[in-house]
């Protein structure tokens, strides 16, 4: 029963956290789009600088999303570790597989038509999966604040 409770909590956290990450992404994308439209309405001489600004914004957006997805992986790895500490008799492989599935951001699963968005999506999946696997191997990577959040997910 505790495994089912953990699975429910982990995937609910995945959906809610992914939704929050998606809202942050939409806010960044809308702001970047508004700035680029404003630059296009400006002078034609600014087209090179507006392209550079768009690329810079893409890097910033991707970096923020990468960090947020990496944090999701760390939180879920901490939750798996904390749950298995209280239940050492549990079948640990199944817990790790469920944790890995929940560590991947569900909100990024939509098909990306833009090359920049597809790259951001791939990097976010890589950040979440990498941080999850790293934290499972070296639990000391998880900061104390994230461990407190992980304990809320643990059963």
Structural domain that includes position 124? 3-38+54-154
Q: Is residue 49 part of a domain?
A: no
> With 90 as the cut, is the pLDDT of residue 11 above it?
yes
Q: Is residue 44 part of a domain?
A: no
Q: Is residue 45 part of a domain?
A: no
pTM of the predicted structure, to 2 decimals: 0.83
pLDDT tens, 53-94?
Answer: 777 877 888 888 899 999 999 999 999 999 999 888 888 999
Q: What are the strands, taking DSSP E only, across the chain? A: none
Q: Is residue 29 part of a domain?
A: yes
Q: Is residue 18 part of a domain?
A: yes
Task: Provide the b/e sequence for 124-152 (b: ≥16 CB within 10 Å).
Answer: bbebbbebbebbbeebeebeeebbebbee
Q: For residue 105, is it left (φ>0), alpha (ψ between -120 and 50) or beta?
A: beta
| Domain tally, the chain | 1
pLDDT in the model for residue 30: 75
Q: Is residue 63 part of a domain?
A: yes
């Amino acid at each position: 029963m505790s495994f089912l409770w953990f699975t429910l909590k982990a995937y609910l956290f995945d959906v809610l956290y992914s939704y929050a990450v998606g809202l942050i992404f939409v806010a960044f994308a809308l702001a970047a789009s508004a700035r680029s439209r404003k630059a296009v309405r400006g002078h034609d001489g600014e087209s090179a600088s507006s392209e550079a600004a768009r690329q810079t914004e893409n890097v910033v957006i991707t970096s923020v999303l990468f960090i947020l997805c990496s944090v999701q992986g760390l939180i879920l790895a901490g939750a798996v570790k904390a749950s298995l500490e209280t239940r050492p008799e549990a079948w640990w492989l199944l817990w790790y597989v469920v944790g890995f599935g929940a560590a991947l951001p569900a909100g990024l699963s939509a098909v990306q038509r833009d090359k920049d968005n597809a790259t951001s999506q791939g990097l976010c999946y890589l950040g979440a999966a990498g941080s999850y696997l790293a934290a499972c191997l070296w639990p000391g990577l998880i900061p104390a604040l994230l461990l407190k959040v992980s304990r809320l997910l643990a059963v």
